[in-house]
Structure 1
Amino acid sequence: MKRRSWVAAAAFGSLALLLMVLGAAIRPLVIPDTPSPTVILNETEIGFVQDMTAHHQQALVMVQRLRQADDPTVLRLAQQIADSQRLEIGMMLGWLRLAGTTSTNPHPMAWMHDTDHQAQSSHHQATSTTAAPTAAAMPGMASRAELDALSAASGRDADTLFLKLMQRHHYGGIAMAQAADEQLDGGPVEQIARDMISTQSQEAGLIGLLLAQRSAWTPE
């Protein structure tokens, strides 16, 4: 009798365990889990990444339009800039996809509330009225007329114009990255902003040396 009771108890326990397992398995089908959404990027990070993606894309356009350069050093620098910024564009677009947002900022530079950085970089901005609205809103962007002039230039003139436009472009990118660094509190977006500050500062310094060699350096 005791053996029978023990067997029944064991069978009941096994049945209860099986029901628990089945219940756990079908629960998501009956009562969908609604976990709190994970914030991939905050508003400042999204705005910075969107705008810096557009900023980098123009740098690639500038490199593409340097078709008739004369100095191999300038060509190597242009390729270095294109390689590093293309890699960063891919990374930033990946973040935006994970965040479920678009790559284009409907309100360019709205995230950049630090007016001191804007003031410091304002003299590096393109002032031509032919620039697109997005270009006009971002520091350092070249106008359409300047890009067309770069396409038409050749030899030493192409080298010099490219260096001047890219130096201004880098100054603008550095200002944007510094503003992001000040507003953010850790994370991969702040880290890439710091990397941009370091890389573009070094490249801007090299550009200054190359311009000085061409007697085209005119401090503002």
Structure 2
Amino acid sequence: MTGRRLLLAGSAAIGAVAAVLIALTVLAPSSSADVDPPGEGSADVGFARDMAVHHQQAVEMSFLVRDRTDDEAVRLLAYDIINTQANQRGMMLGWLETWGVPKSTSEPMRWMDGADGGEGTAGAHGHGAGAAAMPGMATDEELDELRAAEGRDAEVLYLRLMTEHHRGGVQMAEAAVERAGGDEITNLAAGMVRAQGSEIQLMADMLAERGA
């Protein structure tokens, strides 16, 4: 099997695993079903809000690269990320609605204050307030660069940006596994750690194939 076919098979397998993880998370009974829903200040609510924003950018970047390359492997990876993360984002927004809490906040990442010994992840990364405070988020300038790129340049930039994006997502998900009180977030976050970790390795292989 050629390297390209291996990459395609790997991406398809990761997408299938992610779909199974989503289904298991939706269908699995929650041990917290008979207790009060998480409220303001909880890791559950904070993670759901912030990861919904984080996922939205991953979907945006994936749509951008899909329209800027004809490479099968990159387009398939982008499709998998669009499908998986849009579905997960919808689930998290649905939970926020069910829990009766706002879907947005003026203080993102406060639920992670003190993680890794810092004054919150936002301060530790020095990105300032808002969505850019989240680990792994691409800057507006980087997104503009991706919009302007074509072909191999777009592929390489996308793979690099998405690798950093996934690393930030894994950091957030690992913190949610430790801090969340309900099965919904704990199970979903654990699945994200596994699936995005696999995609990070896949993207490393794809970058190596492109000499980047």
Question: TM-score interval w.r.t. the shorter chain?
Answer: 0.7 to 0.9
Give the Cα–Cα distance (whole angstroms) in 1 for the partners of residues 171 and 73 of structure 2.
26
Q: Residues 46 and 111 of structure 2 are in contact (CA less than 8 Å); yes or no, is this contact kept in structure 1?
A: yes
Count of residue pairs brought into register by the alignment: 173
Cα distance in 2, alignment partners of residues 75 and 118 from structure 1: 37
Name the CA distance, whole Å, in 1 between partners of 2:80 and 2:195. Answer: 11
Which deviates further from its counterpart, 133-142 or 75-84? 133-142
Q: 2:36 aligns with which of 39, 47, 63?
A: 39
SS of the aligned residue for 2:110 comes to coil
- Distance change (3 Å), C-alpha of 1:163 and 1:181: same
1:175-214 aligned within 5 A? 175-214=171-210
1:71 is matched with 71
1:186 is displaced (CA, Å) by 4.8
1:156 maps to 152
Deviation sequence 1:12-49 (CA, Å, 0-9, x none): xxxxxxxxxxxxxxxxxxxxxxxxx9622242100010
Mapped partners of 2:101, 2:181: distance in 1: 21
Whether 2:81 is the aligned partner of 1:81: answer yes
Deviation at 1:214, TM superposition (A): 1.4
Pairwise CA RMSD of aligned residues? Answer: 2.3
Aligned pair partner of 1:140 in 128, 131, 136? 136
- C-alpha distance in 2, partners of 1:199/1:160? 21
- The Cα offsets for residues 83-119 of structure 1, whole Å up to 9 and x where unpaired, read as 0001101110110001112211221000013431879
Question: Residue type of the partner of 1:58?
Answer: Q
Query: Which is higher, the Rg of structure 1 or of structure 2?
Result: 1
1:39-118 equivalent positions in 2, closer than 5 A: 39-42=36-39, 43-66=42-65, 67-116=67-116
| Mapped partners of 2:101, 2:62: distance in 1 | 28
Q: SS at the partner of 1:56?
A: helix
Distance of 2:62 and 2:201 partners within structure 1: 18
- The list of structure 1 runs, each at least 4 consecutive aligned residues, that deviate by more than 4 angstroms after superposition, is none
Equivalent pair of 1:117/1:175 in contact (CA under 8 Å): no
- With a CA cutoff of 8 Å and minimum separation of 6, indicate the structure with the bigger relative contact order: 2
- Report deviation, 1:182: 1.1
Percent identity over paired residues: 41
Question: TM-score by structure 1 length?
Answer: 0.72
1:184 CA drift (Å): 2.5
| TM-score, reference length from structure 2 | 0.75
SS in 1 for 2:130: helix
CA distance in 1, matches of 2:118, 2:83: 27
Shift in Å, 1:69: 1.3
Whether 1:169 and 2:165 are equivalent positions in the alignment is yes
State the secondary structure of the residue aligned to 1:111: helix
Ranges in structure 1 where 5+ consecutive residues have no aligned partner:
1-36
Distance 1:117 1:214, change over 3 A: farther
Gaps of 5+ in 2: 1-33
